[in-house]
């Protein structure tokens, strides 16, 4: 007789309480915009897309209200919960706050500053955990310059032994390791809870490191590292990294629309919130922003800036038109250099 075991439900815990001091901004790091959405949006969306039934977002007292409003607009209230970490005592402590409101099942822990993390990356991690049943599974990647990142340290047989933060590395050999921790984990909630209870701040930062659960797992049923592409897994810590991530996101968005039947040329910038119909043509230098919809067969010429507008079927915008909250009827044409605000 074949016995089919039901899959455990999956809950996401998204860590978003960090101060983000390197952004040098009054705006909380996870709320900085990238391609029309807050940075945090993409991590939450990826977790829900991969099958998380609920996302628990760990925030700080300072960003709680703004984060709550941003997530409610995008996802509603039923699938998102917020938990406040106060005082801030490290990532392991933040995960404990999140886990306090999680029941049984699998827990996916990730950060709110990894906008390029895709559901496919998370699906591979969850699949590895379910097939191998270690204490913990984590995502890793290889970097040419791993300085500043926690290293995945392995034994002589290639087994994962631990993750050690950059400032706690003990030798040149450890510092030369190119495999770094991407900060995304899957574990059973009971196992994760026991591991988090054992954390101590015996490190250079004097904080509770979430990475310590990897060493604990290695000493138990094992820790499994699933390798992914660095372009998806590296987080955003400053404005330069934010700009680089946004460029990559714009390329990803353009490719998505192209595969769906639209033509996107050159360096067009299309927010993640924009909808394009089949056979729409978007020329180089165009910016499509906010809740803009471009219907089937519409053409938008070079240099147009369109915000929160609807462009009807087979309509045409001449070069450098600027539209803000405008509805363009089907088959209409807005001549070059027109301005409709």
pLDDT at position 267 over 50: yes
The CA-CA-CA angle for residues 54, 33, 251, to 5°, reads 95
Q: Which of 63, 65, 46 minimizes the C-alpha distance to 110?
A: 46
Distance (Å, whole) CA 15 – CA 195: 17
Homologous superfamily (CATH) for 260-340: Hexapeptide repeat proteins (2.160.10.10)
Q: CATH topology for 10-237?
A: Spore Coat Polysaccharide Biosynthesis Protein SpsA; Chain A (3.90.550)
Q: Classify residue 94 by burial, with Cβ atoms within 10 Å: 0-12, 13-18, 19+.
A: buried
Distance CA(291)–CA(300), nearest Å, equals: 16
Q: What is the pLDDT of residue 30?
A: 95
Using the predicted structure, report yes or no on whether residue 6 has a pLDDT greater than 60. Answer: no
Give the count of alpha carbons within 13 A of 36, CB side only: 20
Give the DSSP letter string of 169-213: --SHHHHT--EEEEEEEEEEHHHHHHHHHT----STT-S--TTHH
219 is catalytic: no
Q: What's the pLDDT tens digit per position in 153-183?
A: 999 999 999 999 999 999 999 999 999 999 9
* pTM of the predicted protein model: 0.92
CB atoms within 10 A of CB 240: 10
Residue 29's Cα: distance from chain center in Å?
Answer: 13
226 neighbors 138 (Cβ within 8 angstroms): yes
Active-site hit among 5, 22, 219, 333: 22
Give residue 2's pLDDT: 33
Read off the pLDDT of each residue in 203-210 and give the average, rounded to a whole number. Answer: 84
Mean pLDDT taken over the chain: 93
Indicate the SS3 state at residue 96: helix
The pLDDT of residue 1 is 34
pLDDT in tens, 73-84: 999 989 999 999
- Domain extents in the chain: 10-237, 260-340
């Amino acid at each position: 007789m074949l016995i089919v075991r039901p899959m455990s439900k999956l809950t996401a815990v998204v860590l978003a309480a960090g101060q983000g001091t390197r952004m040098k901004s009054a705006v909380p790091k996870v709320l900085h915009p990238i391609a029309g959405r807050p940075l945090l949006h993409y991590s939450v969306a990826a977790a829900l897309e991969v099958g998380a039934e609920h996302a628990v977002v760990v925030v700080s007292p300072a960003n709680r209200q703004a984060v709550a409003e941003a997530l409610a607009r995008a996802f509603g209230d039923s699938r998102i919960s917020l938990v406040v970490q106060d005082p801030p005592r490290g990532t392991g402590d933040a995960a404990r706050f999140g886990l306090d409101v999680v029941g049984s099942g699998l827990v996916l822990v990730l950060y709110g500053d990894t906008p390029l993390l895709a559901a496919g990356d998370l699906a591979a991690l969850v699949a590895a955990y379910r097939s191998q049943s270690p204490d913990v599974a984590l995502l890793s990647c290889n970097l040419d310059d791993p300085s500043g990142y926690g290293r995945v340290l392995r034994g002589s047989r290639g087994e994962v032994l631990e993750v050690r933060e950059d400032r706690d590395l003990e030798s040149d050999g450890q510092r030369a390791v190119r495999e770094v921790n991407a900060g995304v984990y899957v574990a059973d909630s009971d196992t994760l809870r026991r591991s988090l209870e054992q954390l101590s701040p015996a490190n250079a930062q004097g904080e509770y490191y979430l990475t310590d659960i990897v060493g604990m797992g290695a000493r138990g049923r094992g820790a499994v590292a699933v390798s992914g592409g660095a372009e998806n897994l590296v987080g955003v810590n400053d404005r330069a990294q934010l700009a680089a991530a946004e460029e990559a996101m714009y390329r990803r968005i353009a490719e998505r629309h192209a595969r769906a039947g639209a033509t996107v040329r050159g360096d067009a910038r299309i927010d993640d919130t924009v909808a394009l119909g089949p056979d729409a043509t978007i020329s180089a230098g165009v910016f499509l922003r906010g809740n803009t919809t471009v219907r089937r067969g519409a053409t938008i010429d070079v240099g147009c800036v369109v915000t929160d507008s609807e462009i009807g079927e087979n309509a045409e915008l001449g070069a450098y038109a600027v539209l803000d909250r405008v509805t363009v009827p089907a088959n209409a044409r807005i001549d070059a250099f027109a301005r409709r605000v």
